Amino acid sequence: MELQVEGNSRVLENHSETKRGQNVCSTPLEIGGNEAAAAAAKASATELKSRVNSVTAPPCSSAEPPGKGSKDLGELISTDPVWAAMRAEARLEAEKEPLLSSFLYASILSHSCLERALGFVLANRLQNPTLLATQLMDIFDDVFMNDKGLRHSIRLDAQAVKDRDPSCRSYSWALLYLKGYHSLQSYRVAHALWNRGRKVLALALQSRISEVFAVDIHPAARLGKGIFLDHATGVVIGETAVVEKKVSLMQGVTLGGTGKETGDRHPKIGRGALIGAGATILGNIRVGEGAIVTAGSLVLKNVPPHCMVAGIPARVIGPVKEKDPSLTMKHDATKEFCELMAVDSLQKRPSG
């Protein structure tokens, strides 16, 4: 593998394979009680196995320490099913579309684990003449390979894309093409750097993320695992915002403050909530677990758990039956909401 850095003559050979070779590369999805996500990834990879005779992975492809030797697809499925599925998909795509074989090899098949493949992809997306791809790969490699929780998050986020986006038909598509996934994983690196005290570097990375992906997430914001940014364009998340696990955010969502005050001033989004396109949530308020904020709403007050809110300003229009509406992605207006809006319009109409 060769990486030619734009604007610089430096060529790095086998960069990702020679950095920190003694680290464990990946984390099974079962860690943290996410057996369902692991089962889904295993089922997908197992189905692909029938179409791929063997996908040989270099050492360090599983949760085992490096030096154990290469593993075929069957072995990889049991240790890192998301990465197994990505490698199988890339092999099949390369066979179907030979023009992309070099791209797929450089992005997926040449790498020993998902962490290094992701670092390669992100570095090449975010590089510029003064922030070189080789430098970014070093940063990503250091963060991914030394943070077990982060390695878990990147897999659960990929599973979230695969489960919730009907246009994403394979795990590798999330890794290679979807900027919602790219911007979220880039934020996770910036957040890790911020927590390490490397705040200037974290802010520099945030600036590039905003410029390249049109997504602005402050590196101090706290986002849980299994987050889905659908389309992602125009998403803004402020410094003290908290987004708990399994939340889905559509494009154009703002989690912002209400003025120039300092301190804790941004929204808190509960587990499994679904935030519709263009919704604006302002201030240190809480959107409860399993709530739905419909598209275009302006939320200025707390939202109770498992309720749907809509309007400007938003108000409760009904209950939410699903435990985690973020997983079903059903956020269309209900019949009750349409009737409520009709009655409201009639009441506001001037008499005579």
Tens of pLDDT, residue by residue over 90-115, are 999 998 899 999 999 999 999 989 99
pLDDT category at 242 given cuts 50, 70, 90 is: very high
The pTM assigned to this predicted structure is: 0.81
In this structure, the number of other CB atoms found within 10 A of the CB of residue 22 comes to 9
Token pair for 7: 């604007």
Q: Is the pLDDT of residue 67 over 60?
A: no
Kindly report the length of the chain: 352
| pLDDT for 53 | 57
Element (H, E) at 285: none
pLDDT category at 191 given cuts 50, 70, 90 is: very high
CB 251 within 8 A of CB 231: yes
pLDDT category at 77 given cuts 50, 70, 90 is: confident
CB 335 within 8 A of CB 320: no
| pLDDT for 259 | 84
In this structure, the number of other CB atoms found within 10 A of the CB of residue 149 comes to 12
Element (H, E) at 104: helix 101-104
Distances (CA, A) of 158 to 31, 92, 165, 225: 15, 19, 11, 10
Q: How far apart are CA 90 and CA 199, in angstroms?
A: 36
What does the pLDDT average to over 186-193?
98
Convert 33-45 to b/e letters by CB count within 10 Å (16 or more is b): ebeebbebbbebb
Find how far residue 93's CA is from the centre of its chain.
23
User: Which regions of the chain carry the CATH code 1.10.3130.10?
Assistant: 1-215
What does the pLDDT average to over 206-210?
97
Q: Is the pLDDT of residue 1 over 70?
A: no
Distances (CA, A) of 299 to 128, 263, 278, 345: 37, 20, 11, 20
Q: Which fold has domain 1-215?
A: serine acetyltransferase, domain 1 (1.10.3130)
Higher pLDDT, 308 or 3: 308
Reduce the DSSP state of residue 333 to 3 states and report it: coil
Helices (H), ranges, the chain: 15-18, 35-49, 73-79, 81-96, 101-104, 114-126, 133-145, 148-164, 171-177, 179-195, 199-213, 325-328, 335-348
What does the pLDDT average to over 145-152?
93
| pLDDT for 3 | 37
Q: Is the pLDDT of residue 40 over 80?
A: no
Q: How far apart are CA 167 and CA 17, in angstroms?
A: 32
Q: Which fold has domain 234-352?
A: UDP N-Acetylglucosamine Acyltransferase; domain 1 (2.160.10)
Element (H, E) at 162: helix 148-164
Strand partners, 31: none
pLDDT category at 52 given cuts 50, 70, 90 is: low
Which of the residue ranges 73-82, 173-182, 308-317 would you say has the lowest mean pLDDT?
73-82
Share of the chain above pLDDT 70, in %: 75
Token pair for 121: 């992809």
Q: Is the pLDDT of residue 183 over 60?
A: yes
∠163-167-171 over CA atoms, to 5°?
55
Burial grade of 326 (CB within 10 A; 0-12, 13-18, 19 or more): buried
Q: Is the pLDDT of residue 282 over 80?
A: yes
| pLDDT for 144 | 94
In this structure, the number of other CB atoms found within 10 A of the CB of residue 11 comes to 11
Q: Quick one: residue 311, left, alpha or beta (phi over 0 = left, psi -120 to 50 = alpha)? A: left
Q: Is the pLDDT of residue 214 over 60?
A: yes
Sign of the CA dihedral 158, 161, 162, 164? positive
Token pair for 208: 């590039």
pLDDT digit string (tens) for 303-341?
999 999 999 999 999 999 999 999 998 876 555 655 665
| pLDDT for 295 | 95
Q: Is the pLDDT of residue 207 over 60?
A: yes
| pLDDT for 283 | 96
pLDDT category at 212 given cuts 50, 70, 90 is: very high
∠108-202-109 over CA atoms, to 5°?
5
Q: How far apart are CA 122 and CA 115, in angstroms?
A: 11
Q: Report CA Rg, the chain.
A: 22
pLDDT category at 10 given cuts 50, 70, 90 is: very low
Q: What are φ and ψ of residue 338, in 5° steps?
A: -60, -40
Q: How far apart are CA 160 and CA 246, in angstroms?
A: 8
Q: Is the pLDDT of residue 257 over 60?
A: yes
Share of the chain above pLDDT 90, in %: 67
